[in-house]
Amino acid sequence: MITLTCRNLDIATFKHADVDLVDIAQSLGQQTRWNGMLGCHYSIAQHSVLVSEQLAPIGPAAQMAGLLHDASEAYLSDINSEVKKLLPDYQMLEERVQGIIFERFLRRVPHESVWKLHDTRVAVAEYEDLHPAFLRGVQLPETVGRIPQTIRPQCPDKAIREFMRSFYQIAQLIPRFPYTFDNWSNAAQ
């Protein structure tokens, strides 16, 4: 695979040096959530920013985990969870790539429980705001709820900018963040 930053990647040997913030933001901004079944362009980047915003009360490391929780999809693409269950090798690859991305930016792999509830709450809002017919007859656990804001899809360019802006703002709040501002993207090197 050749990325926006002109990196030729072999996903089978994916490593820390292959992770590039610009490539992640670009890809997630162009890819839609829910396999494009919402009737509008609603990107994984916008979804990730919303998840991250919900984690602000917990702290910047949790926010960064929320922002990056789907970053492996930049390199592997988003696959419907029902299909993913049928592909155990894909699941292992996704976990490995996601772990490498977390290690690159957070030095560790956070537990899914850090962001999972907020990811679900954003998903509920996505369906209520962008595909309300889907929820007819669906019983959601009362503890899930939804995020307070109404979701308005952004064009890909805006979603990419917001993803990058969020990353830089959050990174400034993390003490001893693993990288300086000029080396988050291999494109800058």
pLDDT reading at 162 higher than 60? yes
Q: Is the separation of the CB atoms in 47 and 125 below 8 Å?
A: no
Place of tokens 């699941």: 91
pLDDT digits (tens, 9 = 90+) for 12-52: 999 999 999 999 999 999 999 988 888 889 999 999 999 99
pLDDT digits (tens, 9 = 90+) for 108-146: 888 888 889 999 999 888 888 888 666 566 666 666 788
Can you tell me the distance from the alpha carbon of 55 to that of 189, in angstroms, rounded to the nearest whole number?
A: 31
Tokens standing for residue 18: 């292959």
Q: Is the separation of the CB atoms in 116 and 71 below 8 Å?
A: no
> Could you give the 3-state DSSP secondary structure of residue 43?
strand
